[in-house]
Amino acid sequence: MLEIISVIFPIFITIFIGYLSLYFSILNKEAMKVIGLFIIKVSLPCLLLVSISSQDFHSLIQIPYLMSYGLASSIVFIVTVLIYLKKFEMPLSHAAVMGMGAAMSNTGFIGSGLLYLFLGEKAAIYFGMTFLVENFIVFLMFLICLELGQQQTSVKQILKSGLMNIVKNPLIIALILGFIFSASQRQLPEILQLTLRSIGQTSAPLGLCVIGGSLYGISLHTQQKIARDIVIIAGLKLIIMPLLVYVIFLIVPNTSKEMIFAGVLLSSVSMVGLYAVFGQQYDMQKVPPILLVTTLLSIVSMSLVIHYLRV
């Protein structure tokens, strides 16, 4: 428990700093939106390119792990989007943000730190594969939903303009380039790696500051059905997804106890910080409180996984 708290505590400090920056009028809401755009269009693409290109291609391709984690996260994302799209009649772009919250873990900021505590150097392999699944499967579906949600024309025009916008997205370009470099076993020039990594490393702390800034001025009493959404998203993220990952790992052949532990632990982590960043871009004020509550509750889910599945 103490190990988990030591990883999570700095996250809340950073979120609080973001909140204080608006409370004391150091920054304003518009500045936070600009920071959010910087993360999405500059900082995160740099991080993705460096992280994926530096991974050994063969270590990223362990079919049982990729299949199990990829299937589980895809199911959770699709189910969440359908719940909010069909039952609660949310716009597709908003439903996609909720799907991201339920299906994408904070692998980089929380998951990797915990995994290194228990698996040492082997953690990099599972971190890399999870990162690959989340970004090439779940995040790609998320971006497609966002693009389709913004289009109001015919299906043909949606496919044409939507796919073009997706291909031109800096995040997708970074993913593709990173995969090409990893597969070809070529490294980016060292000075370029250093520069991109320095820019990319700002995405996590800035993202947390944006979460804190997004919380400023929000009254939970004015947020319609906030309790309902907290129960749904936290339940899907911290209960359904880890259980689904565990069951699929048991069904898929050639999985090890270490593989199961890594996958279930990462799936029991709270959602990625970008959940709040995209929520801010779409004026979804209920998103930051959902993230905060889910992060607090994840202390319990992660502790249970460590207690029962630790190798």
Query: Would you state the pLDDT for residue 54?
Result: 83
Query: Would you state the pLDDT for residue 120?
Result: 78
Query: Would you state the pLDDT for residue 152?
Result: 55
Query: Would you state the pLDDT for residue 157?
Result: 63
Q: What is the mean pLDDT of residues 151-171?
A: 65
Query: Would you state the pLDDT for residue 224?
Result: 62
Assign a CATH topology to domain 2-309.
Na+/H+ antiporter like fold (1.20.1530)
pTM above 0.85, yes or no: no
Residue 129 pLDDT grade (very low, low, confident, very high; cuts 50, 70, 90): confident
Residue 230 pLDDT grade (very low, low, confident, very high; cuts 50, 70, 90): very high
Percent of the chain with pLDDT over 90: 39
Listed by start position, the domains of the chain span: 2-309
**Phi/psi at 271 (5° precision):** -70, 160
Q: What is the mean pLDDT of residues 276-299?
A: 86
Average pLDDT for the chain: 86
User: Could you tell me where the DSSP H helices lie in the chain?
Assistant: 2-23, 29-38, 44-53, 57-60, 63-82, 92-103, 112-119, 123-133, 139-150, 155-168, 170-183, 190-200, 203-215, 226-235, 241-251, 257-267, 274-281, 287-309
